[in-house]
Structure 1
């Protein structure tokens, strides 16, 4: 029986919001739980949109967090296809696009992020795409299939994770692919040149063309259809379709208009403390939109990946219930491209590390790479090597100095190289909430 005297509202119908609602019920909350999403689809996971669902190996229904009937069974009130357009902190209410006002006692903002737009001539042409929502993936699947059948060309602006995963999917369909990237390697700002070149080689082996050191400046067309793109160095590339994969921006407009504190850092986002509480004690934020004062890393960090939504939603729910939460998860993400599967744990932005150490066979793409500063492991990437996420995260969490030679030696167990402080990665799960990151 739902107790109508307390109402918790979640704005955001993605993985973080759905897992928060699930956790509220699992933790025994008997008040009203209202989940607001601006898409008409039930909450779903985003990784398949550029991986299994896009390639056709996964069915559409596989992307959803819960069966549609689960929400009614759990007494979760859904407002789908309804954007939240105004947050009234004084009145503790959220106004929806249709004028409905929803009262809250506690509010969670899980508003996510939106793709950055190409601000160049020609973006109004048919054949210019973004990939963020299930509807985008539905459309792009048909586009890639048609390009493959007709030997068509897809130009991708951006060699980040989304750009590369779509490139791999497009080549699976048989489409011609050109990737335009202003940096000298793919994933340059994430993996640096040491590992970025490996991904360039991987994609070239599968027929992808790269144009590095250039920006897309114009999309040209005929009769409203894309025919080519131009870059700032004067080159022109044939194109039937264009994908903008130049990153995502946190959706903070609702929070900003309500006067909540935003992060001044380069990633932006809604500023929250380690318990995921905003500058308003009754409002929390998590997922792609939240910039967390990370207790382990010692800086405010916004993470846009699946594991952050998976674990951040439950952590925020527990904090809303008054439980002691310190969200100190080691950042984690994964990617699948052709026959290469990889996982990355940690945080090592450009300029933060002084060496990269590898163990295993890089040439065969079966290895682990570590980013170090003063012999401390900041991050690790395992490529086609499995069941090592736990030890890698323990090394990141521990902060101990390691011998780079031992780190590079496959004969030395990772578990022997550092002892985590406190409870280690597994202990953080209890504090932050949610399931452990997959290995």
Structure 2
């Protein structure tokens, strides 16, 4: 039985928003729960879009957050395919794109991120792609199938996680792939040169060509179709299609227009929140890709764009909206699958933050754990084709204890024994 005395509104129909709605009901909230999403699809998880679904190994209905009927069964009011134009903090209302005004007692922003666009000539051509939504993945899968059949060329701008996962998928279809990346190695800003080289070798072994130290300056076409991609060092790569995988930007325009405190882009961007995921307005929370809390472990505001943050951040925000004491300080976590390599990464170790990389296992066999250390303390760990170690890896990070690098590198020493 819904009690209409209180209304909690969630803007954002992705994983964070859907898990927040689920948590509100699980925690006994009996008021109205209104979930607004600008996609027409019911909330779904995004990792399969560049992994199993793109590869044709996962069905479309396999990665919904809930069965479609679940929302009505739990009295969640869905507004799908609907935008929000305005947040009126004084009146505590949101205005939908169709002009409807909805009052709220508590509001959760879970608007996610959107792909950064290439700001170069030629991006209007039919063969230029981004990957964020099911429709993007559907289109890209058709493209990769066609490229593989016709020995066509895909140029990918960016060698981050999305770029590399799509490169792996494209090669599995038989497409020719060239990755253009302004850094000296894949994932350089995330993993540094040591492990960036590992991924360069992995993809080269599968036929991917890299063009490092460059960025696209023009996409050349004819009759609306892509013919080539040019770079700032004068190179030209044949291309039938181009994927822009140069990162994502948090969707903060609503928050900005509402006067909420934001984080400068130079510091990662997003909406400034406390450890209860409250914004500068105590009646408005934020979760998922847009939320930037000050993380006590790493001593900085940290905005995380990965699946686990949406999975866990939505419920944390929901509990905080209910007045519970919440401290959202989870160790960042993500995973990736490329060819026969599966990995999990925990922690945060950007370039310049660490002074040592320790390898436990065999890089050559692609079965190892890499650790990034600063003054003997573990900042991050990445297990590659080694499983069931996330818990001790995260415990090492949380402990902030100095670790003997030799013991850390020795597979015969249990990781759990190194946690004080």
Does TM, normalized by the shorter one, top 0.5? yes
- How far 1:294 moved relative to its partner? 1.5
CA deviation map 1:335-367 (0-9, x unaligned): 000000000000001000000000100111100
Matching residue of 1:206: 206
- How far 1:381 moved relative to its partner? 0.3
Aligned length: 419
CA distance in 1 between counterparts of 2:18 and 2:293 reads: 20
Matching residue of 2:410: 409
- How far 1:267 moved relative to its partner? 1.2
Matching residue of 1:344: 345
> Matched residue of 1:124: which SS?
coil
Contact 1:125 1:224 (C-alpha < 8 Å) held by counterparts: yes
- How far 1:266 moved relative to its partner? 2.6
Contact 2:267 2:301 (C-alpha < 8 Å) held by counterparts: no
CA distance in 2 between counterparts of 1:249 and 1:308 reads: 16
Matching residue of 1:135: 135
CA distance in 2 between counterparts of 1:174 and 1:413 reads: 41
CA deviation map 1:398-424 (0-9, x unaligned): 0000000000000111111122xxxxx
CA distance in 2 between counterparts of 1:286 and 1:191 reads: 25
1:16 aligns with 2:16: yes
Contact 1:359 1:369 (C-alpha < 8 Å) held by counterparts: yes
CA distance in 2 between counterparts of 1:208 and 1:284 reads: 43
Unaligned 5+ residue runs, structure 2? Answer: none
User: TM-score, normalised to structure 1's length?
Assistant: 0.95
Matching residue of 2:388: 387
Matching residue of 1:335: 336
Matching residue of 1:80: 80
CA distance in 2 between counterparts of 1:321 and 1:161 reads: 35
> Matched residue of 2:5: which SS?
strand
User: TM-score, normalised to structure 2's length?
Assistant: 0.99
1:196 aligns with 2:167: no
CA deviation map 1:198-232 (0-9, x unaligned): 00000001010000011110000011100000000
> Matched residue of 1:85: which SS?
strand
Matching residue of 2:4: 4
CA deviation map 1:352-386 (0-9, x unaligned): 00000001001111000000000000000000000
Contact 1:24 1:317 (C-alpha < 8 Å) held by counterparts: yes
1:101 aligns with 2:101: yes
> Matched residue of 2:6: which SS?
strand
CA distance in 2 between counterparts of 1:342 and 1:378 reads: 17
1:217 aligns with 2:217: yes
> Superposed, which structure 2 residues align to 1:162-241 within 5 Å?
162-241=162-241
Q: CA RMSD in A?
A: 0.6
Contact 1:272 1:291 (C-alpha < 8 Å) held by counterparts: yes
